[in-house]
Amino acid sequence: MPNEPSRARPRIATPRLLLLAPDPDPAQGQARAVAEFYTRNRAHFAPWDPPLPADDNTPEAIQGRLMTGAAAFTAGQAHRWWLALADEPGRVIGSVHLSNLARGPFQSCTLGYALDVAAQGGGLMHEALAAVIAEAFAPGINLHRIQAGVRPENSRSLAVLARLGFADEGLARDYLYIDGAWRDHRMFAVTNPAFIQPAFW
């Protein structure tokens, strides 16, 4: 049925990366690793991310987001994976998330992603996104469409989406409030040629 929870894998391995679902268990240390990731990259992300409250990166706030994220992941409402190098699984270097997940006739989601400034330039985000797209289009989640919005100035992000086969669908003006102003975004999408239609369609 189209509104069944998505059966996403909580752990995905690629040749160089581990993609890990939100884990609020304090013993696993994910909250600390996520906090360190955002602290290291605060200035790097500022031109591309919406404004956040001052207490957004406190241990309590991150722990709460991990709990919410884990529940959404299990329910098939949204999927976020935290990225770690395969040989350094306790250090978060990025994230990929599928949000605004809609079923019914839409069967679509919005793609978001971020990578540590020190990890850029080696194809790691391409590797992570390819794995997540394959997961989203596999029978477990079975989405038909993934869309993404990118600021025209973000050349790295534009390049990685082009390499992954996303089609440019046009310009959305004043799309998000980022870095002190309403910013235009180019809208991209990729569709699933192996989408499995519900039996009653």
User: What CATH number has the domain bearing residue 141?
Assistant: 3.40.630.30
pLDDT of amino acid 133: 98
Which residue, among 118, 52, 53, has the nearest Cα to 91 in the 3D structure? 118
The count of domains in the chain is 1
- pLDDT of 70 reads 97
- Residue-by-residue DSSP string for 15-81: SSEEEE-----GGGTHHHHHHHHHHHTHHHHTTTS----TTTTSHHHHHHHHHHHHHHHHHTS-EEE
For residue 80, list its beta bridge partners: 97
pLDDT digit string, tens, across residues 38-72? 999 999 998 888 887 877 888 789 999 999 999 99
pLDDT, residue 57, reads 83
Q: What pLDDT shows up at residue 4?
A: 58
Residue with tokens 């992000």: 157
What's the predicted TM-score (pTM) here?
Answer: 0.93
Q: Is residue 137 domain-resident? A: yes
- For residue 58, being part of any structural domain is answered with yes
The reply to whether 201 falls in a domain is: no
Residue 98 lies in a domain: yes
- Please report, in tens digits, the pLDDT of each residue of the chain (201 residues total): 445 567 899 999 999 999 999 999 998 999 999 999 999 999 999 888 888 787 788 878 999 999 999 999 999 999 999 999 999 999 999 999 999 999 999 999 999 999 999 999 999 999 999 999 999 999 999 999 999 999 999 999 999 999 999 999 999 999 999 999 999 999 999 999 999 998 889
DSSP 14: -
The verdict on residue 1 lying in a domain is no
Computed over its alpha carbons, how large is the radius of gyration of the chain? Answer: 17
Which residue segment(s) compose the domain that 27 sits in? 11-191
Q: Which residue has the tokens 């929870």?
A: 5
Helix (H) or strand (E) holding 133: helix 124-137
Query: Is residue 138 in some structural domain?
Result: yes
Q: Is residue 5 part of a domain?
A: no
